[in-house]
Structure 1
């Protein structure tokens, strides 16, 4: 089979298949509205599942849009999520590396037994037993946030009032830091998830401020350990100082930014067709499957997960050459009709639901059980407290988060 040359082969926007030498899809692909998927997803799945793209950095890569291909690449331990090889594509045009290229992330082992040991060490804090013990506190915080939102009156921004502060509070609890620092955490996280929003100086400043903060915080925990994840990792003594900082960064970004955005998107999806909300009010036992379907149906998940191909590999019927950077579009894969019946419909009863929102394989999201808990609790509290909740704008008027690696809604205006 012939090896594809992705440096020369481009994509015709009309046909969705590689042609010529002058046309290429800019990535990330645009959405018609914040809750609707890019129109290219279906065309690429059908006719060009391994499609050349141009990243915000200007570098070339390919995007995968079929379920089987995305799952294959994400689950393959040969392929690294770290884009620090000399010929790897840069996702963002940033000398400081961005979230996929920065030097700090290299402190966490990327594969093999060392990576598994790191996952086991950190994963002790995300067990079912520990999350069940944390659930009442998460519910109490969600109730408090709803109280505060109601006291301020409608209309309100549900993302700012509930979606953002809840996961930040949880991650602050895990890291043992005061939630009064959450605004700084938000800025640092945004800057390190940059695609096009921040300047190089702003990114470097944010990284330096985060490292300074975390170094001081780790030393304070070393002097006076408490019942939190960082204290436990310090006491264990296995991780290097750099790995401790990188773990804190990973938890901050994954635990705060992605879940905060997903809460807003989930509520936006459920309220955009109010029959969905009414279905949950009639049968609250559907909360668990509704959360999973919201994760699958997310049309605005961000750029996806990159993988650096370390050897010539057959993907989607083509041989992708070593040195190619692949963007795995979990959002597109989760709409693949070959993997999900009625994939274009949001079915709150769908089960089983083997979506790829949290990745697959050895690098699947370590905190996915925590994210599920936060999403379920938030939805349960909103259904119980605000059964008349509805969007305060038309669904098409919701605006996307722009310029970051992650997708989301800028605001979720609601009334009740």
Structure 2
């Protein structure tokens, strides 16, 4: 193993500083000086931090690194995260063939052709919430009135979850994703959501429909608990990530009038702009977690079996060997090599849906609200700092 003095191990997570859209400076420094470096976690355990684009893809595409949180040495970011990941894990915390079996059950609902067919429905949802937000005098909170309800309603529509229950699952989702939630808080929130979804699955046995939960329960080879676990993952990830990306993307564009003007002048840039915003913001700020099950060399460093690894997506997406001037937002950039959705067999299942929602939401905002601007000084915008998904507490805007 490459020798690293324990004193030199980074404390993880590192403090943010400077640009709130950028990774913590300590991670950027690691990218430039020690791309594979030791870190010290909350409980005193050690793991490896992998920061370079090439190395992140190498780990995530290598079956010698496991996503199974039940394996010894898996790096947990808190006691609450251990509870969430290791107890009754979702299929993203499994390896193949177990992971592949569950994932295949959902793949058909998220292929590009199937998702693209949702465009008219998502456009109606976006227009509806924007109509409501602009029906009263500004200012408005773009998070509460637009960025959060749009993906929440979309994922409810796909799953067959009543949207009127959105406050219930959003409150519990926040607990599951909060960095400092205790194990007891996570367990209670997860169990309450699981009970809710199991009861919903039970009802759909009697009154089936065309939505995902109903199709899963109709298969006959899944228990209600397994259906609830798969649905819980989609419900939480399906609204939290896209909601935060929508709000942060809007803020990033408002902070860069030249890039916003380019999108207004040429709406055909929107697809590429979404890829660039995914790269630039990299909202999964905690990285992607793995544990080595065999000895492997990454970036010139030997990682032994049983050692945890955190793949830092945010620094990989700002690797200057892949992206020129990575600290700059450039809506004309070809950013398709970003790893915001991960890499390898575990990369995000719902990425076609997230892309489509972001394209429609941002294009519609820019087109319908040409005078959209912050209603408060940028320094007063409150970022979410205690969560697995980077985002905003609120985004006061006017027009």
Q: Same fold (TM over 0.5)?
A: yes
Structure-2 residue corresponding to 1:48? 34
- Cα shift at 1:223: 1.5
Aligned to 2:109, the other structure's residue is in SS state helix
1:62 maps to: 48
Structure-2 residue corresponding to 1:132: 116
Cα deviation, residue 120, structure 1: 2.3
How far apart are the structure 2 equivalents of 1:235 and 1:395?
50
Aligned-pair CA distance for 1:343: 1.6
The equivalent of 1:92 in structure 2 is 78
Aligned equivalent of 1:388 = 371
Question: Which residue of the other structure, out of 21, 28, 53, is the alignment partner of 1:35?
Answer: 21
For the structure 1 residues 187 and 326, does the alpha-carbon distance in structure 2 shift closer, same or farther, using more than 3 Å as the test? Answer: same
In structure 1, C-alpha distance between the alignment counterparts of 2:45 and 2:394, rounded to whole Å: 31
Candidates 133, 155, 176, aligned match of 1:171: 155
Matches of residues 219-298 of structure 1 in structure 2 within 5 Å?
219-298=202-281
Distance in 1 between the 2:242 and 2:92 partners? 22
2:135 paired residue number: 151
Hey, what's the Cα distance between the residues in 2 that align with 1:31 and 1:98?
A: 30
Distance 1:242 1:5 in 2: 45
Report the Cα distance in structure 1 between the residues aligned to 2:396 and 2:246, rounded to whole angstroms: 13
The equivalent of 1:123 in structure 2 is 107
Distance apart, 1:241 and its partner CA? 3.3
Q: Does 1:9 align with 2:9?
A: no
State whether residues 67 and 92 of structure 2, in contact with CA within 8 Å, keep that contact through their aligned partners in structure 1. no
SS in 1 for 2:391: coil
Instruction: Give the TM-score of the pair, scaled to structure 2.
Output: 0.94
- Conserved in 2, the CA contact under 8 Å of 1:34 and 1:409? no
Please state whether the residue corresponding to 1:353 is helix, strand or coil: coil
Tell me what 1:217 maps to. 200
* Equivalent-residue separation in structure 2 for 1:111 and 1:88 (angstroms): 13
Deviates more, 1:274-283 or 1:82-91: 82-91
Question: Normalising to structure 1: TM-score of the pair?
Answer: 0.90
**Could you tell me which of 43, 59, 62 is aligned with 1:76?**
62
Deviation at 1:5, TM superposition (A): 6.3
Call closer, same or farther: CA 1:330–1:75 in 2, change over 3 Å: same
2:304 is the counterpart of 1:310: no
Query: Match of 1:103?
Result: 88
Which whole-Å CA distance do the structure 2 matches of 1:371 and 1:349 have between them? 20
Is the contact made by 2:205 and 2:217 (CA closer than 8 Å) also made in structure 1?
yes
Instruction: Tell me the CA shift for residue 316 of structure 1.
Output: 1.3
User: What SS does structure 2 have at the residue aligned with 1:335?
Assistant: coil
| Secondary structure of the structure 1 residue equivalent to 2:65 | coil
1:376, CA displacement in angstroms?
0.4
- Displacement, 1:58? 4.3
The structural deviation recorded for 1:331 is 0.8
SS in 2 for 1:97: helix
For residue 306 of structure 1, report the CA deviation from its aligned partner: 0.4
Aligned-pair Cα RMSD in Å: 2.0
Q: Give the secondary-structure state (helix, strand or coil) at the position aligned to 2:74.
A: coil
Structure 2 contact 276–335 (Cα < 8 Å) conserved: no
Instruction: Note if contact 2:288-2:311 (Cα within 8 Å) is conserved in structure 1.
Output: yes
2:253, 2:92 → 1: CA distance? 37
> Which sections of structure 2, spanning at least 5 residues, go unmatched?
none
Helix, strand or coil at the partner of 1:83:
coil
